[in-house]
Amino acid sequence: MKKYMVCFILIFLFCSVSAQNSKPTIYSIIPLPQHINEVAGKPFVFSSTTKISFPKNDKNLEQIAVFLSEYIQIATGIKVQITDSPSSKNTIELQSNFKNKNGEAYKFTVDNNKISINGASSGGTFYGVQLLRKVLMISNEKFQIKLPQVEIVDYPRFGYRGMMLDVARHFAPIDFVKKFIDILALHNINTFHWHLTDDQGWRIEIKKYPKLTEIGSKRSETIIGKSKNEYDGKPHGGFYTQNEIKEIVEYAQKRYINVIPEIDLPGHMMAALASYPELGCAGKDYEVRKKWGVSDDVLCVGNENTFKFLESVFEELVPLFPSKYFHIGGDECPKKSWKNCPKCQSKILELGLKRDGKHTAEEKLQSYCIGRVEKFLNSKGKKIIGWDEILEGGIAPNATIMSWRSFQGGIEAAKQGHDAIMTPSSHVYFDHYQGKDTNLEPLAIGGYTSLERVYSFEPIPEVLNSEERKHIIGAQANVWREYMPTTDYVEYMILPRLAALSEVLWTEPEKKNYPIFLNRLANFLPVYDELKFNYAKNILEVSSHYTIDTENSRLILDLKTSSKNPIYYTLDGSVPTINSEKYKENISIKKSVTVKAAVISEKQKNKVFEQSFEFNKATLKPVVLKNQPVERYRFNGANTLVDGRIGTMVFSTGDWIGLFNENFEAVVDLKSIQEVTKVSVNTFISPNDWIFGPKQFIIFLSDDGLNFTQVYNKDIEMAMQGDNAKILNLKANFVSQNARYIKIVAPINEKIPQWHYAAGKPTFLFVDEIVVN
């Protein structure tokens, strides 16, 4: 009997502890702290007598105390006193002597008399203050806030937690740059990557080269939207003086944010070439670029004056930026001008650079350029970061790789013993759309990076061993501003996705849970409102998830929202109202239908979610692919091709599948022999994104799935230079035949054509809905 009683008690205690650990708490802010232990006892009560204390002569903690005082006043209206004298009653005590191997760690404790925030450094204390700030701002009470007793030990998972802002495509005034830094601080981001130069503008004063700002900081006009040749006729410009740079760097340092400047080279240099044409291979007729994309004109690496220019630029920048890292770009540098440049070809001969099985001589010339710049910056006590293209031709000796095209660049760097920062465009490019219905979203460069996709981001690839994993020092998100002319636009594109990223970079992965995160984020959004941040409200609107049941030929649609208000929907294409069907359970779809849904309350109605499902003989039937899509564009795999949803002009929303350097071949099982006269499939073409479609469209039919007869074959013309993105419907009409199995073959165009900046590289092939009639 005693044994049974002991077991019962142990089970009871375990359940109690589990319940306590899973219980929502006011301290479960974003990013989620590592260890929260609420304890019994009277709460700490904020009042007009509350004080903030810090150690005498500690200027760092004094500054943090000033910040905290401001935060408390914004959150509660209470103005608290700051003191360097110890106090034992109703005090917030700041310290920086917490013993922890992580320098950004902190211990946060609350009892009825005192809140103690003790960092392993002043930076750790700053993050503890951010926790308190957020707790106060999400509290339902304002003038008498009571905080339960708690013990929190917290620290970041990664030492590098970054966010990049592009000010070259569209200039950002200094006040917004400070606001951007404030947004980063709120989310425990500790690195501000500042993209200062590009083809469309040079944004930093260089005293030795005044034309960089006199000429290079201004473009005569800007292309409108995604048009080919329509411009706004309005000059655009702006730059930061060196004194303004110092002001921004100091502002960031006070918020424990490191500022890394980026001077992108040897490509993306049209603004510099327009200012000093002698630095280019042609030596004349350059202008600050008025449109987006990649220019063939780059720095002439065979010209010794190019390196004198670069060294002089960095000579002036080194004193302005205390960061140990300087970013030197290295991405998207076409080699066309080097191939035709006598100076560059002479330099290739001088260096003995030769094409091998992996790299061209021109790629090795870029490696020479990057290595030489690295050597100079190393002599100034700096380390370089470069985009993953600097791996091509051989990596510079001490370079850190910023892996953007995929995870592969970071993997290769780590395996070679180099540090890497993960920033894959598939997960953390915040210039992508964040809502599936792009008609309801502001114009974006393309792509689709949802909040959930950001939250799913795991910076350390499983393929790395324990030693190699140490080289993944962190990750960051990027906001490229081709289509973001205003600063409120920038805020909308980064928030709340930055909240998801902050938890990826701070919180241990086993503690992450997306549905719970959404609940916490819904409670966190009032912080954005209070601080007057412009943010996307997608999580408060309707989103969808669907599963395909090929066995029963039905699609199961699940609608969800983080709003506390109900969802109403219709299936007849009409706009839902409060009198429409209230969503309570999954919707089973077995025929063509248009679903419309919205979160509706008596006071408010949000954006209307709309999704059409168009059925044909292939819809919801089993499909087998010979070659699998790449992970980034796999989504629901083969089922994506028969889900009744027609892909739109945004190729990464989950409506398309994408193959890379692989042919498309699919077999659809109609489940019975049926009459077939027509088979069609859509392919997406976007040369700028390396997506070129197939070179042929071939259809085979079969009764048994083993013996196939070809019934259609057509060659497809490859996209030409200047072609815009488009959807191409491949349609096969043939004499009526009976068949159960349909085989669709679409061989890929193997290489990108010579006119493209990535000539010779493999291509992508995107395919969507298979229609059989």
Active site residue 585: no
Please tell me the distance from the alpha carbon of residue 451 to that of residue 454, in angstroms, as a whole number: 5
* Strand stretches in 561-646, DSSP E: 567-570, 581-582, 587-589, 593-599, 609-613, 623-625
Question: For residue 98, which phi and psi values (nearest 5 degrees)?
Answer: -70, 130
Q: Does the annotation mark 198 as catalytic?
A: yes
Give the C-alpha distances (Å, rounded to integers) separating 663 from 62, 376, 446, 681, 694: 63, 46, 24, 15, 8
DSSP code for 549: E
Alpha-carbon span 578 to 542, nearest angstrom: 15
- Buried (b) or exposed (e) across 659-696, using 16+ Cβ within 10 A? bbebbbbbbbbbeeeeebebbbbbbbbbbbbbbbbbbe
Contact 445, 483 (CB under 8 A): yes
- The residue annotated as part of the active site, out of 187, 195, 268, 432, is 268
Catalytic: which of 198, 264, 437, 689? 198
Q: Give 344-350's long-range contacts (Cβ < 8 A, gap of 24+).
A: 344/281, 344/300, 344/301, 344/302, 345/302, 346/302, 347/301, 347/302, 348/302
Structure tokens at 709: 């007869």
List, in order, residues 6 or more apart from 323 with CB less than 8 Å away: 258, 259, 260, 261, 382
Report the distance separating Cα 185 and Cα 180, nearest Å.
Answer: 9
Neighbours of 578 (CB within 10 A): 12
Q: In whole angstroms, what is the distance from residue 539 CA to residue 333 CA? A: 38
**Sheet holding 35-38: strands in order across?**
35-38, 150-154, 106-110, 114-119, 91-95, 51-53, 81-83
Token pair 């959404």 is found at: 518
Peptide bond into 261 cis (omega under 30): no
Q: Which residue among 104, 205, 262, 332 is the active-site one? A: 332
Q: Which tokens belong to 340? A: 């035709």
Upstream peptide bond of 31 is cis (omega within 30 degrees of 0): yes
- Bridge-based pairing of strands 44-45 and 146-147 is antiparallel
Give yes or no: 287 in active site. no
Catalogue the active-site residues: 198, 268, 332
